[in-house]
Homo-oligomer: A and B are copies of this chain.
Amino acid sequence: MTVHTGRHFLQIPGPTNVPDRVLRAMDMPTLDHRGPEFAELGMHVLAAMQRVFRTKQPVMIYPSSGTGAWEAAIVNTLSPGDKVLMAETGQFATLWRNLAERFKLDIDFVPGDWRHGADLAEIEKRLAADKAHAIKAVMIVHNETSTGCVTYPLDVRKILDRVSHPALLMVDTVSGLGSLEYEHDAWGIDVSVAGSQKGLMLPPGLGFNAVSEKALEASKANQSFRSYWDWQEIIAANKLGSWPYTPATNLLYALKEAVAMLEEEGLDNVFARHKRHGAAARAAVKAWGLETVPVEAQDHSPALTAVLMPEGHDADAFRKLVLENFDMSLGTGLNKWKGKIFRIGHIGHFNDLMLMGTLAGVEMGLAVAKVPHRAGGVMAAMDVLTGKSVVPMQKAAVA
Contact = CB atoms under 8 A, between A and B. Distances in A.
A248 to B, nearest CB: 4
Interface stretch (A20-28, A152-160, A302-310): A20-28
Interface string A359-399: 01101100110000001101100100111100000000000
Contacts of A325: 352
Contact of A228 (B68, B247, B385): B68
A343 to B, nearest CB: 11
A281 to B, nearest CB: 13
B386 A367 contact: yes
B29 A10 contact: yes
A350 interface: yes
A12 interface: yes
A351 B203 contact: no
Contact of A386 (B8, B247, B368): B368
Contact of A226 (B16, B64, B102, B352): B102
A357 interface: yes
A344 to B, nearest CB: 12
Interface of A: 1-10, 12, 14-21, 23-24, 26-37, 63-68, 71, 80, 98-99, 102-104, 195, 197, 203-205, 224-228, 230, 244-251, 261, 264-265, 270, 273, 323, 325-329, 332, 349-358, 360-361, 363-364, 367-368, 375-376, 378-379, 382, 385-388
A3 B264 CA distance: 7
B99 A227 contact: yes
Contact of A6 (B1, B26, B98, B354): B354
Contacts of A248: 65, 203-205, 248, 251
Contacts of A6: 17, 349-351, 353-354
A353 B349 contact: no
A67 B237 CA distance: 15
Nearest to A9: B353
A227 B363 CA distance: 40
5 contacts: A3-B264, A6-B350, A23-B28, A102-B226, A102-B230
A71 B227 CA distance: 8
Contact of A329 (B7, B35, B349): B35
Contacts of A1: 264
Contacts of A98: 227
Contacts of A355: 357
Given A358-B353, A379-B375, A197 B17 contact: no
A385 B41 CA distance: 31
Given A67-B228, A205-B205, A382-B363, A12 B32 contact: yes
